Amino acid sequence: DTAVSQTPKYLVTQMGNDKSIKCEQNLGHDTMYWYKQDSKKFLKIMFSYNNKELIINETVPNRFSPKSPDKAHLNLHINSLELGDSAVYFCASRMLAGGELFFGEGSRLTVL
């Protein structure tokens, strides 16, 4: 069973649309993250959720919103998609503060 799973794996959409990427972890972890792999292949942190509480929110446009229905899920909603949103988005989770991250396989978003 996949520990951290993201859906969809690939998403192609038009500018201006609203889309969501889902993430689920079956590891019983308390903290989940969303990272964006930028054009230079850097992993940039977007959000972190700990027990349904947003504890990090980087300088991310407010078109991006994380939603966590329970501690096993952290979904990423994006409104009014722009060309620059095209990237690979990675979900990750971990149990202990400072402990290793477990990553999903990534979701490649292409905005046309």
Partner 1 sequence: ILNVEQSPQSLHVQEGDSTNFTCSFPSSNFYALHWYRWETAKSPEALFVMTLNGDEKKKGRISATLNTKEGYSYLYIKGSQPEDSATYLCAHHNNAGNMLTFGGGTRLMVKP
Quote the CA–CA distance of 99 and 74 in Å, as a whole number: 19
Torsion of CA 66, 106, 44, 37, to 10 degrees: -130
Least distance CB 38 / partner 1 (angstroms) = 10
Tell me which residues touch partner 1 (CB under 8 A). 4, 31, 33, 35, 40-45, 48, 50, 55-56, 90, 97-106
Residue closer to partner 1 (CB basis): 76 or 81: 76
Least distance CB 109 / partner 1 (angstroms) = 16
